[in-house]
Structure formats: structure tokens, C-alpha cells
Amino acid sequence: MDLGVAYEHHSSHRAASEGYDVPEGVDVRGWYDEEFGKILTKDALQFVADLQREFRSHVKYAMECRKEAKARYNSGALPGFDPTTLKIREGDWVCTAPPPAVADRRVEITGPVERKMIINALNSGAKVFMADFEDSLSPSWENLMRGQVNLKEAVDGTISFHDKARDKMYKLNDQTAKLFVRPRGWHLPEAHILIDGEPATGCLVDFGLYFYHNYANFRETQGDGFGPFFYLPKMEHSREAKIWKNVFERAEKMAGIERGSIRATVLIETLPAVFQMNEILYELKDHSVGLNCGRWDYIFSYIKTFQSHPDRLVPDRVQAAQIPIRDNAKANEMALELVKKDKLREVKAGHDGTWAAHPGLIPPILEVFNANMGHAPNQIQSMTRPEAASITEQDLLQLPRGARTMDGLRLNTRVGIQYLAAWLTGSGAVPLYNLMEDAATAEISRAQNWQWLKYRAELDGDGLGVRVSNELFARIVEEEMERIQKEVGTERFKNGKYKEACLIFTKQCTANDLDDFLTLEAYNHIVVHHPKGSPRL
């Protein structure tokens, strides 16, 4: 894997080789920082290396299986239930009950592992805060390691932040949300840490460092004897959940804590995983605290799965992760109404909780959930779903209905480029046009543009019968770049990475084949190796 690595010299940082005390076979290529050194201890790195060595062949096999499945879908097959696991789907088994500490999760807030964000989110009044190393974080060395430092202080209860501009101190309240951590997906490497000469698996670095430093304190202060708690993203098959199960058991054994201490919620955000939900729960049954529906990534996955099926062109992506609109009371009220309607649908469908994209949305969401759930912590026992038994493969593969418009194409382009520009400069959660956007937004934007371009989709919502072509797209990119420059101002446009983002985004939208992940290619642009001139990967 050529990571097209950039080299940069930070005069204030010592060369890596002088700094971190590393175990045999481990090479840290991120710059040295004293704070990071408290995370990258020899023992913690040894734990990560042990996980990597034990599971790397399983991870490689799982990624190969993803490729094989993709080839099948590309040659016309559809995802479906696996006949060999019918026994699991129809079997009489249950997952272990959720630990008391996280039995009530009616509203959760999510955000990157940034210092101020962590404090505000833990203080937000939500039941759970999902601290994110994944889609809302740009995985630069600085962001990842600073994030680990921040989480350690959060679990220790010592985290604070001084906002110099406002001269305001932030620290934790007595009552805080329960902390869940979301590591990266199985497909992402960590190019700054080499184990036996190859990049480590990103999620094993995120999980391993966090678990190693925090399990003891977490169980005492947050988990009532359980924990730590995790969110697991982007899985496509139960074999990937099985690797997580084994990682958890390996970690529990190392820590000398009982099996089933570590708990995780799996995000169902890929189309193939929809047909594996029972199997995923079955693999993780001692470690499971439920599933979460991730609709943004799900739409991206739908397009990706059916990239060779011209009969499955999707409509404009609709607005979702609404955030409060400060300077427009009427628009704010409409946004809140949309949120409430959405949450009412979820609670009535049997969801035990939901995500809020902003602290300001927690009260209205709680109102909806409290009104429908009363005092019960969740709906696990009370909600019956008789219709679930009759859901067919066709039901789960239904093409979303709706129109395709020029506005949709423009919005995808404008938002995709702006998100990517922010990501390249270190920001992974970006408010754009009153919505909170993360990497899933950029993924769906470029995948939808790619699909419409590839099959010359007709923009049927405009009544003009225009078909999407490379010429039309080139013109739109030019016009949207002008619009972005007007909106952000010439100075910021010049200093931001808008042109670089535009090149990457355009290349991905017009490529012959759809890349699996935009972030995999973009990652090459943010890797910085130390010391200068160390060999390319």
C-alpha cells in the first residue's frame, strides 16, 4: 500500500526515534510530544502490538471477503440472508442484559474526541456521549493522540479547558453522560505506527490505547463494574463482529476482568449488515448493548453495493442531522419540528434512544421519548414487533423513492468539497447550512454524484429532462467553487484546502470505478512521517 506520505519537520518536536520507548517490532513514525508519550508507553504499545499480531490475518481475510462480496454484487447478485445461518436467525437465544449503567440511553450525543467537545458533551444532559475517532474526526496524528490524552483525563475526571478568547473555564459537572468510544472501521490503517514493518490496523490502535489506559478507572467511576463501552462502525458481516468479540476477550483476559465486561453497540450502516443483524448479535451476545441504525452511511452503502446496477439510481439525499438555527426563530422552529417528528417515528418503531447532533436538541428529544416511554429505561421487554417476522429480502432492498434535481447535484458538490477541505485541515465535524456533517456526508455526496454521472441519470425533478454528464458536472464544479469562495471569503478560500479538496472530490466522482472509501485516498494527504526522510511505506 503506497501511502504517498508527506514529510514535514517540526522543529519543536524531537525526532520520533529519540522519544518513544517502543517494544520490539514497533516503530512510531508520528512526531514526539511529551503528552503523547504518556499514552504511547511501552506497555500500551506492547498491548496494541499483541492485538495486531493475533488478529491481522483475520482482518485481512475479512477485507478479502468484502472484496469477493463486492465482485458478486457487481456481477448482478443482490445481498440477502445467508442460508447457512438460518439456525441462528430462528434459534432461541438472547443477548446478555444491558448493564445498569447504560440501561437507559434515550438520548445520546456524538462528536469528535476534542477537548472542549468532550467536556460539553459529557455535561450536556444526554444519557450517553459517543466520543468519536471515526467519521467526525480527521485522523491526523495530532487529532488521534490528543484525543487519547483527552479521553484519559475525561475518565480520570480531571479534564478541563480554558477558552482564551472568551476567558471561560470548562470542567466536568458531577453528573455526566456515560462515555462510549467509537474506534475507526476495520478498513483504515494507522500509518504513523508500524508493527513488524506494516501499518497497524487503525481500530486496534484506537481501541488498544484507550482500553489499556482507562479500563480500571472507567469500571470504578463510570461503568458500575462494567465497561469500557464502545460503538463499532462500518461492519458488513458477522465475521467482522467475531473479530471484535475475540479482541474484547483478549483484552478482558489481559486486564483480569470478567468476560462480558466490555460492551459494544454495533452500528448497522451498511446494506450487507442488514442481512446479518441476528448473526452479529449472536457473535457479540456476551458483549452486546444493541444495534444502532446509521442512515447516512446506509444510503452511501446502498449506492456502493449497487454501483453496477443502473436500475437503482437513488433520489436527492434529504436533510437529516439538523442543528438549531441561531439567528432565525422561524427556521429554528421548523427545524425543531422536523427533529421531533423524526424522533417520534423512532420511538414508536421501538427504538430505545436516539442521537442528537447538538446539545440544544436534547430537551425536545427527551420530551418525545419521555412522553412515549414513561419511566421505563428502555423498550426491550415492552415492545413487540409481530411484523418483523415477515420482512422479506425485497423489503430490505427497496429503492428509495423521490426526485433527482440539479439542486441535489449542486448541494452534493458544494457540501462534499467543503467537508473534504475541512477534513484535510484537521476538522472532521463541520456545520454546513444548518446541518452537522461528518465523513458520511462526503461519502454519500461523491457516491451519488458518481452514480448519476456513470449512468447519465435524468434529473427528473426539474421537469427539463437534463441528463447528468461530465460536461454538466465540470460546469457545476466551477460554479459551486465560485459560490464557496463567496460564502467563505477570499482569504479563507485561499488559505483553506479548497482547491486540493476539489481535485480529490472531482476525481472520485468521475472515476471509472467507485472507490470503496473517500477517506482512504484522502488519508494519504494528512499522513506526516518523522523523522524526515524515513522510508516510504
- Grid coordinates representing 233 are 462502525
Cell 472515476 -> residue: 511
**Maximum separation of any 2 CA atoms in the chain, in Å:** 67
Burial (CB < 10 A; 0-12, 13-18, 19+), residue 328, is exposed
Cβ atoms of residues 244 and 238 within 8 Å: no
Residue 178: HSE in the Cβ half-sphere, 13 Å Cα cutoff: 26
Catalytic, out of 33, 135, 316, 438: 438
Catalytic, out of 115, 182, 184, 414: 182
Cβ atoms of residues 448 and 303 within 8 Å: yes
**Separation between Cα atoms, residue 104 and residue 379, nearest integer Å:** 10
Cβ atoms of residues 290 and 436 within 8 Å: no
Cβ atoms of residues 213 and 247 within 8 Å: no
Cβ atoms of residues 285 and 93 within 8 Å: yes
Order of strands, sheet of 178-182, starting from the edge strand that comes earlier in the sequence? 288-293, 263-268, 229-232, 178-182, 128-132, 107-112, 354-356
Cβ atoms of residues 227 and 263 within 8 Å: yes
Beta bridge partners of 131: 111, 181
Cβ atoms of residues 117 and 159 within 8 Å: no
**Separation between Cα atoms, residue 245 and residue 527, nearest integer Å:** 30
- Grid coordinates representing 340 are 421531533
Residue 351, H or E segment? none
DSSP 98: P
Q: What is the sign, positive or negative, of the torsion defined by CA atoms of 335, 338, 342, 348?
A: positive
Reference 264, options 236, 284, 240; nearest CA is 284
- Grid coordinates representing 189 are 490503517
Residue type, position 306, single letter: F
Is 438 noted as a catalytic residue in this protein? yes
Is 163 noted as a catalytic residue in this protein? no
Catalytic residue annotation: 182, 438
